[in-house]
């Protein structure tokens, strides 16, 4: 995970990761924007880039969290 993400309160971590999963479910990776993810989470535009270095990093974090939830890890 990204250092900036790790320093967020748990509630904000969950909001951004859940928002990312919803946006990626509606759009493919190429058409999902970080602005859409921030809006879904009710964060200011550009929030994702202050939290994650890339869209791919956001995707990996969201996917890792979802896999952990599915497996009960």
Q: Say how many residues make up the chain.
A: 73
pLDDT in tens, 2-51: 778 888 898 998 898 889 889 989 998 889 888 999 999 999 988 887 88
- Sign of CA pseudo-dihedral 41, 42, 45, 51: negative
CA distance 32 to 11: 22
Considering its fold, how many domains does the chain have in total?
A: 1
Which residues span the domain enclosing 54? 3-71
Distance of CA 66 to the CA centre of its chain: 11
Does pLDDT of 70 surpass 70?
Answer: no
pTM: 0.77
All residues at 6 or more sequence positions from 21 whose CB lies less than 8 Å from its CB, including other chains:
62, 66
Contact predicate 48/16, CB 8 Å: yes
CATH number at residue 31: 1.10.10
């Amino acid at each position: 995970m990204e250092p900036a993400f790790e320093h967020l309160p748990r509630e904000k971590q969950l909001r951004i990761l859940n928002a990312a999963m919803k946006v990626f479910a509606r759009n493919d990776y190429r058409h999902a924007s970080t602005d859409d993810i921030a809006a879904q989470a009710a964060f200011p535009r550009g929030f994702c880039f202050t939290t994650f270095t890339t869209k791919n990093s956001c995707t990996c974090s969201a996917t890792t969290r979802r896999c952990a939830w599915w497996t009960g890890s």
